[in-house]
Structure 1
Amino acid sequence: MGCRDRGCDPEPDASLCRRTTVSPRFAVTPNELVLPVQAILRSAGQLILAAEKGGFAIEKKSDKNYVTEIDLAVQKQIVDQLEKLTPDYAIMAEEEDLDDPVRDRPVWILDPVDGTTNLMRHNQHSAISLALADGDELVLGFVYNPFLDELFTAVRGQGVRLNEREVRTSAVTHLKDSLVSFGTNPYQRQAAHETFARVERVFLASLEVRRSGVAALDLAYVACGRYDGFFEERLQPWDFAAGLLMVQEAGGSVCNWQGLPVDVHHPDSLFATNGKIQDELFSLVCKD
């Protein structure tokens, strides 16, 4: 069983600014938002770089769940600028999420720092993740790693770019030749046995496995061919929304562990591949 399909220049990428068909609820087209949003994310990335060098405060939200002053500062800066850019749009952000899904107007879905634990330990592998949804459809996705100055941008119907270079999923056709990334849920430790049983099956059948702790980058890496697949049992919308659109636009396949479309407004499981190892990997990850 597999997924049921539905349907390095640091300057902002002008090549993505072409017209696309969108809901009439948009005051401006998604294409017109690309350049200003890229600038917003690059500016916010400077906060991360400066704080990473100078130190920052850390607060424990719950067991295994932390927030840094960088998360809060980056979120505030991005939210303030998005509210000026698109005042009629809703915003769902990790540190201040909406109570109910928004479907009557466009909604930004933001993770100010995906990979907070990496940031806390000065492991320079974290990213800002931002998506724009129109109802149940994702229309824009951005993932920015300020440490490498890599900005992934997806526009529905127009593909994916890494800075100014168009990217696609890999051409790998067999799991035995595949590099597969996975995520673990630190808040559900009781699921560790089942999680690592799946990982073991994939490890034995694939070329190699990886765990980075940054789902947004894992998905962006599937989109650009660095990874061939990614799976995680439970993610929040701000973790996966931008990367989900990227994998789809780059030619890959995305679904949840039931083989159904992923719910972009609620937590869900996630299974993403280049589309070529889909069935083979799905049978290992999502079998009972």
Structure 2
Amino acid sequence: MISTVLVAGATGDLGARIVRELLGDNSHPATLVRVLTRPGSGTAQGMYAREDRVEIHEAAYTDQSTLTIALSGVDTVISAVSGASTVILDAQRVLLAAAVDAGVKRFIPSDYSADYRRVTPGSNRNFELRREFAADLDAAPLRVTSVLNGAFTDMLTGQAPMILFARHRVLFWSSPDQVLDFTTKDDVARVVALVALDADAPRVVEVAGDRVTARDITRTLSELTGTPFTTQWAGTTGTLSAMSKIGRFLSKDKNATFPAWQGMQYFVSMFSGEAELHHVDNERYGPHNWTSVRDVLQAHLQRTTVDSK
């Protein structure tokens, strides 16, 4: 039986990885992938025009009728769009309405985060957008599966200033023993592709490539570098939450996807324990070599050493 999966946001970082998994060696050969792209954008053509199992459909996220045509015959919609309210709420709402009109059976929203369901109102904008859209999903006449994976492990070596490599410090808020959930984008993409082909997937699938504390990260970095790293208290989550609110008030672009104040809010959610995953099921789709925090840090340190030569 042929299964048709549509990926919205397929030219983005995570979306492209999901498409790759859907077309990979481990996918079902009868899986067809539709890529949704905005009118006039040639990016999707450049990425997927040579793929025999990929169809490219142009539609604006404001045009429900055209979206409905693009979704005709689709079994599962995967949303991998990224943004603030105009994307997570406005665009996805139109995409959801079109999916219902087209008779799509299943919808995977663009969650891919820690557990946003229990965070304190006002403490995390991006989580609240997902929680608001979840109410729309639960009222829609189709099956929905959200994938929750903690934070992307990649952020530890990029935009999240938790690790001060030059100063050999690992920052923490409130407690260095709070469990933090991390999963790489590649591992998340694999799970999303498998969920898309799993007709019995539950409302939420939780996975975590690794579960560590600030102390664990400190110990790992000390072992990898041969230089002692130490934890450094950066304040309480309450203080960080207050700082994020000030940063948001002073921000010139309040609709940015991941401004500095939103990063603060993410750490508040993680270090407070509110967004911790409690039903991780890494074995749902069989054995897998999950990429650990240690793997990511080791690769980063090796790249840094090479670049410095």
- TM-score over 0.5 for the alignment? no
More strand by share: 1
Answer with 1 or 2: which has the greater Rg: 2
After TM superposition, the score normalised by the length of structure 1 is 0.26
After TM superposition, the score normalised by the length of structure 2 is 0.25
